[in-house]
Amino acid sequence: MIPDLCAPVDEVAPRLLGAVLRHGPVAVRLTELEAYEGATDPASHAYRGQTARNAVMFGPPGHLYLYFTYGMHWAGNISCGPEGVGSGVLMRAGEVIDGTELAQARRGQVRDRDLARGPGRLTQALGLHAEHKGCDLFGDGPVTLTPATEEAELIMVGPRVGVSVEADRPWRFWIGDSPFVSNYKRSPRAPRATSATPMALRWKPSGR
């Protein structure tokens, strides 16, 4: 069943944990995601409105938004929210579960744990490039997304990383017991601190 991608982006992101992104023989199980809203989120590419670069974020939900970053790699996002809103979920890390040999060839024979641990590593392992921007992830195109068969038992919530504004917004979500996630404050912390402190979340989507 295709998840409801028209919900608020911070609700969509944790629902996509465990989903499998596939391009050809390589498949990656998503273990870490970040939510980015549109007009109310200055860290989002959609904050200043629609452009040729970010148009996919404003289109139908469930499409692949790719952008080139740091002059060296692509980062991949899943568009979400109602059409015209401009929200997206950044795929920050994953676990290669199929096509490991090809992923290793693309990544330079690194440890399995590091094949897709990071936005640029994830897209490199999958062989994603500019021509895949805009792919319908739930269609018949070359890049597909299969929803998780079951929800993660423990979902961690913490601040976003790699952004200069709104970094403390607790919109990074990751599978708490997975080794295939970023090193940023992976350990659970007590929920007594600020919103920048990771905390555990037993995710129970409403109506599911």
Which one is predicted more confidently, 2 or 82? 82
Helix (H, G, I), strand (E, B) or coil at 136: strand
Q: What is the pLDDT of residue 189?
A: 34
Per residue in 152-190, pLDDT (tens digit) is 889 999 999 988 888 889 999 999 989 999 887 543 333
Model confidence at 60, pLDDT cuts 50, 70, 90, reads: very high
Burial of 137 (0-12, 13-18, 19+ CB in 10 A): buried
* Token reading at 196: 């920048």
- Which parts of the chain are beta strand (E)? 20-23, 26-36, 64-69, 73-80, 87-98, 143-146, 155-158, 172-175, 199-201
Across the chain, mean pLDDT equals 87
Burial of 101 (0-12, 13-18, 19+ CB in 10 A): exposed
